[in-house]
Amino acid sequence: MSRIAVVGTGYVGLTTGACLSSLGHKVICADIDERKVAQLKDGKIPIVEDGLEEIVVQGIASGCLDFVVGAAAAASSCEFAFLCVPTPEGEDGQADLTYVERAAGEIASVLPRDAVVINKSTVPVGSTRVVERVLRRPDVSVVSNPEFLREGTAVHDFLHPDRVVVGADNLEAAQRVGRLYESLGAPILVTDAASAETIKYAANAFLATKISFVNAIAAICEGVGADVRDVMRGIGYDRRIGNEFLRPGPGWGGSCFPKDTLALLKIAERADYRFDLLQGVVDVNLQQFDRMASRISSAAGPGGTVAVWGLTFKALTDDLRDSPSLEIVDRLLAKGHRIRAYDPTVRERLTSYPSVQICDSEIEACHGSDALAVLTEWENFRWVDPAEIVGLVSSRHVVDTRNLLDRSAWRNAGFGYQGVGR
Ligand code: NAD
């Protein structure tokens, strides 16, 4: 059992802290948000994440998990301190390290001798050194341990990782961090710090590339009368390609891919490499948002009202950061459309979208609308009976950017149905 501090209790920090406590470690999680800490101490979690509340409650009950305000309070008696703070996109696309540097500064003087500080935030190559410089503690090692969890399945992903990556120039410190994960039975890859930092960006850039590629093939399928689902099934059987992450959609987004692809473009620039391939991946994605928005706009007619199903960047999360749905909503608003939206996790009007009407159900969103757009793949949308809403949508047209609905059922109910790539 190790004594662990986790700085930042967002999607990554809270999952990391709670899961490590479930493995028997003694964990103190810190945040600067006092309200959040008070809520967490009561066993209530402020985000939607399957299974997380249960392990938080168990951790608190077993005495293995606690929450405090301020990083210093968590780190003063730890052997390991995980930094899980935001690394947003900076002004010029580079990752902004302000939160990481601030968190490291807060714990520098209180860390016990020989502690290990672990960068779990996604940070550019060289950030291990940045943290070392802020800490000014030669006895403390800094290790990079990027996180690969997916929101919506974060607990499962943390406890059943495909691999654990630990990078440091001090091999012994990297091995100490690797041992924290030993009981998970996953391959533990120990690398130098720069390689570990690069792995995270390379993984996200590769996944974004896959989706942009599928979306580009989907556009071709539409032009030649092929069905992208069959095409992807056909290539996915090839083990060199694999069948994961081959679904077309409205474009990729979320709190990581957009900022991480831009950050990698900046890293490449500084490494004196023109990463045209990744720039193409980003451009195809913007094209996809435009294509989907135009398609929905045409279905709704000039100034028409669009019923939008789904605002989060994917199903099973409440995270709206850089959501493709909102990218499309932005474009529709710019074209003069009105929006009536329903999302199972969004109950209040969004401050940045005051004109978007938030509705209480899929059906309510369709009242007085001119077209329907499915933007997030929430499973409940699949089960709405099209016969119930066909009279509510004036154009009787649905644009299903997730290929979620049963096309035949919707066509049989009298809807014009447009999916992606078929
Ligand atoms: P988040 O915004 O959900 O959470 C960050 C938390 O850190 C917030 O609660 C904030 O109040 C807190 N914080 C900021 N400064 C602090 C300080 N000095 N002391 C204590 N708490 C502080 O962020 P996230 O989505 O968990 O992402 C964190 C990092 O992990 C980012 O670098 C991100 O790129 C990376 N990452 C995220 C995911 C994901 O799916 N969200 C996956 C892998 C990696």
Written as one string, the DSSP assignment of 77-127 is T-SEEEE-----B-TTSSBP-HHHHHHHHHHTTTPPTT-EEEE-S---TTH
Query: Quick check: CB of 49 below 6 Å from ligand 1?
Result: no
Query: Quick check: CB of 121 below 6 Å from ligand 1?
Result: yes
Written as one string, the DSSP assignment of 195-233 is HHHHHHHHHHHHHHHHHHHHHHHHHHHHHHT--HHHHHH
Q: Are 366 and 307 in contact (CB under 8 A)?
A: yes
- Mutating to test ligand 1, I would choose from 40, 85, 96, 163 the residue with most ligand atoms within 8 A of its C-beta, which is 85
Q: Closest Cα to atom 41, ligand 1: which residue?
A: 11
Query: What distance in angstroms lies between residue 327's CA and the mean position of ligand 1's atoms?
Result: 22
Query: Quick check: CB of 85 below 6 Å from ligand 1?
Result: yes
Q: What pLDDT shows up at residue 91?
A: 85
What global pTM score does this model have? 0.96
| Residue 422: DSSP 8-state | -
pLDDT tens column, 329-372: 999 999 999 999 999 999 999 999 999 999 999 999 999 999 99
Query: Can you count the helices (H) and strands (E) in the chain?
Result: 17, 14
- Arithmetic mean of pLDDT, 395-407: 98
Distance CA 373, CA 307 (A): 6
Q: Closest Cα to atom 22, ligand 1: which residue?
A: 8
pLDDT tens column, 174-185: 999 999 999 999
Output the CA–CA distances (angstroms, integers) from residue 63 to 15, 27, 37, in the order listed.
Answer: 17, 9, 16
- Arithmetic mean of pLDDT, 23-32: 97
Residue type, 419: G
Q: Closest Cα to atom 7, ligand 1: which residue?
A: 8
Distance CA 358, CA 325 (A): 14
- pLDDT above 90 (res 205): yes
Which of 113, 171, 181 is CA-nearest to residue 146?
Answer: 181
Query: Quick check: CB of 71 below 6 Å from ligand 1?
Result: yes
- pLDDT above 90 (res 415): yes
Query: Quick check: CB of 256 below 6 Å from ligand 1?
Result: yes
Query: What distance in angstroms lies between residue 87's CA and the mean position of ligand 1's atoms?
Result: 7
Output the CA–CA distances (angstroms, integers) from residue 284 to 34, 147, 209, 217, in the order listed.
Answer: 41, 26, 9, 11
Atom of ligand 1 nearest to the CA of 151: 40
- pLDDT above 90 (res 385): yes
Q: Are 293 and 412 in contact (CB under 8 A)?
A: no
pLDDT tens column, 49-61: 999 999 999 999 9
Helix %, strand %, coil % for the chain, to 5?
Answer: 45, 15, 40
Output the CA–CA distances (angstroms, integers) from residue 194 to 125, 173, 412, in the order listed.
Answer: 5, 15, 56
Query: Quick check: CB of 68 below 6 Å from ligand 1?
Result: no
Distance CA 203, CA 192 (A): 17
Atom of ligand 1 nearest to the CA of 255: 41
Query: Quick check: CB of 255 below 6 Å from ligand 1?
Result: yes
Q: How far apart are the first and last CA of the chain?
A: 53
Read off the tokens for 358.
Answer: 């938030």
Q: Are 375 and 402 in contact (CB under 8 A)?
A: yes
pLDDT tens column, 88-119: 999 888 999 999 999 999 999 999 999 999 99
Distance CA 82, CA 195 (A): 19
Distance CA 138, CA 132 (A): 8
- pLDDT above 90 (res 128): yes
pLDDT tens column, 246-283: 999 999 999 999 999 999 999 999 999 999 999 999 99
Average pLDDT, the chain: 97
Q: What pLDDT shows up at residue 99?
A: 98
- Arithmetic mean of pLDDT, 159-186: 97
234: helix, strand or coil: helix
Query: Is 359 in the active site?
Result: no
Atom of ligand 1 nearest to the CA of 256: 34
Read off the tokens for 223.
Answer: 């032009």
**Pairing label, strands 3-7, 164-167:** unpaired
